[in-house]
Amino acid sequence: MSLKGKTAIITGSNSGIGLGIAWEMARAGAHVVLNSFTDNDEDHALAEKIAKETGTEAKYIQADMSKGDQCRALIEKAGVCDILVNNAGIQHVAPIDQFPVAKWDAIIAINLTSAFHTTAVALPMMRKAGWGRVVNIASAHGLTASPFKSAYVSAKHGLVGMTKVVALETAEEPITANAICPGYVLTPLVEAQIPDTMKEYKMSREEVIRNVLLERQPSKQFATVEQLGGVVEFLCSSAADQITGTTISVDGGWTAL
**Could you tell me which residues are beta bridge partners of residue 84?**
9, 134
Q: Which of 60, 152, 184, 201 is catalytic?
A: 152
The SS3 call for residue 178 is: strand
Is 60 a known active-site residue?
no
Spatial separation of the C-alpha atoms in residues 6 and 29, rounded to whole Å: 8
- 48-71 burial, b at 16+ Cβ within 10 Å, e below that, comes to eebbeebebebbbbbbbbbbbebb
Q: Give start and end residues of each alpha helix (H) in 37-136.
A: 41-54, 68-78, 101-108, 114-129
**Could you tell me which residues are beta bridge partners of residue 134?**
84, 177
Secondary structure letter of residue 213 according to DSSP: I
Q: Which residues are catalytic?
A: 152
